[in-house]
Structure 1
Amino acid sequence: MDLEGRWKLPPTNLIASSAARKWKGIGVELRRHSAGEVPEMVADRMVIAIAVRGNHRAIIHRRGNGVRQATHASRGTVWLCPQGVAEDNIRITSAIPEMLHIYLPAATFVALAKEDNFSDVTRQSIRYKAGFQDPLLFQLAAVLLEELTAETSSGRLLVETAALTVAARLLHSHGEAALPYAARTRPAIGLDITRLRRVIDFIEAHTDEDVGVDDLASVACLSPFHFSRAFKEATGLTPHRFISQRRLQRARLLLETSELSITDVASMANFSSQANFTRAFSRIIGISPGEYRRRRT
Structure 2
Amino acid sequence: MRFSSADFDTPELAIERFRQLTGDLCDVIIYGDAKDFRVSSATLHLSGALLLESQTSALRYDRTAQHVARGIDHFQVVMYLAGGAEFVARDRTFLQRAGDICIIDMARPSLTREMQARDGATHVLSFVLPRLLLTPLAMTDAGPTVRILPRETPYGRMLGDYMLAVRRCAAELTHSESQAVVQSLALLVASALDSRPDAGDTNATLSQDAVRARIKLHIDANLGLGSLGIESLCREFGLSRAGLYRLLAPQSPAGYIQQRRLHRAFAMLISPAFRAWRIIDIALECQFSSDATFIRAFRRQFGLSPGEARKLAEQRVPGAPPGSGQALPAPDAEASRWIAQLTGTVLSGSPA
TM-score range, shorter chain: 0.3 to 0.5
The alignment's TM-score, normalised by the length of structure 1, stands at 0.33
The alignment's TM-score, normalised by the length of structure 2, stands at 0.28
